[in-house]
Amino acid sequence: SYVELRKCTNNFAERNEIGSGSYGKVYRGLLTDGLVVAIKRAQQGSTQRLLEFKTEIELLSRVHHKNLVGLVGFCFERGEQMLIYEFMPNGTIRDSLSGKSGVYLDWNKRLSIALGSATGLAYLHEHANPPIIHRDVKSTNILLDENLTAKVADFGLSKLVSDALNGNISTQVKGTMGYLDPEYYQTQQLTEKSDVYSFGVFMLELLTSKRPIEKGKYIVHRVRTTMNKDEEVHYGLWDMIDSSIRDTKNLIGFGQFLEITMQCIENSPEDRPTMSEVVKALETILQNDR
Ligand code: ADP
Give residue 39 CA to ligand 1 midpoint distance, Å.
9
Distances (CA, A) of 222 to 5, 8, 172: 48, 46, 27
> Cβ neighbours of residue 55 under 8 Å, at least 6 residues apart?
158, 159
Q: pTM to 2 decimals?
A: 0.89
92 lines ligand 1 (CB under 6 A): yes
Q: Whose CA is nearest to atom 17 of ligand 1?
A: 19
Q: How far is the CA of 101 from the centre of ligand 1 (A)?
A: 13
Q: Report whether residue 89 contacts ligand 1, using a CB cutoff of 6 Å.
A: no
pLDDT tens digit string along 44-72? Answer: 556 666 676 677 677 677 788 999 998 88
For the segment 182-200, what is each residue's pLDDT rounded down to a tens digit?
Answer: 988 788 788 999 999 999 9
Q: Do residues 93 and 139 lie in contact, with contact meaning Cβ atoms separated by under 8 Å?
A: yes
Amino acid at 282: L
For ligand 1, whether the C-beta of 22 sits within 6 Å is yes
CB 136 within 8 A of CB 175: yes
- For residues 241 and 204, is the Cβ–Cβ distance under 8 A? no
Which value, to the nearest 10 degrees, does the dihedral of the CA atoms of residues 178, 180, 185, 190 take?
Answer: -170
Quick check: CB of 85 below 6 Å from ligand 1?
A: yes
Written in H, E and C, the secondary structure of 241-288 is: CCHHHHCCCCCCCHHHHHHHHHHHCCCCHHHCCCHHHHHHHHHHHHHH
How far apart are alpha carbons 180 and 227 in whole angstroms? 21
In Å, how far are 6, 22, 245, 259 from 232, measured between CA atoms? 61, 41, 20, 13
Q: How far is the CA of 151 from the centre of ligand 1 (A)?
A: 12
Residue nearest to atom 16 of ligand 1 (CA): 19
The better pLDDT of the pair 152, 61 is held by 152
**Integer CA distances (angstroms), 141 to 25, 68, 168, 195, 245, in order:** 15, 10, 25, 12, 23
- Segment 23-34 shows an average pLDDT of 83
Q: Is the CB of 131 under 6 A from ligand 1?
A: no
Does the pLDDT at position 140 exceed 90?
Answer: yes
pLDDT at 160 over 70: no
Higher-pLDDT residue of 259, 249 = 259
- Predicted pLDDT at 238: 79
Residues 13-19: contacts with CB under 8 Å, at least 24 apart: none
> Residue 250: what pLDDT?
75
Q: Whose CA is nearest to atom 15 of ligand 1?
A: 19
The answer to whether 280 is a known ligand-binding residue is no
Looking at the annotation, which residues are catalytic? Answer: 136
Measure 268 CA to ligand 1 centroid, in angstroms: 31
Side chain identity at residue 123, one-letter code: Y
ipTM of the complex: 0.95
* DSSP letter, residue 68: B
The band of 165, judged by pLDDT with boundaries at 50, 70 and 90, is very low
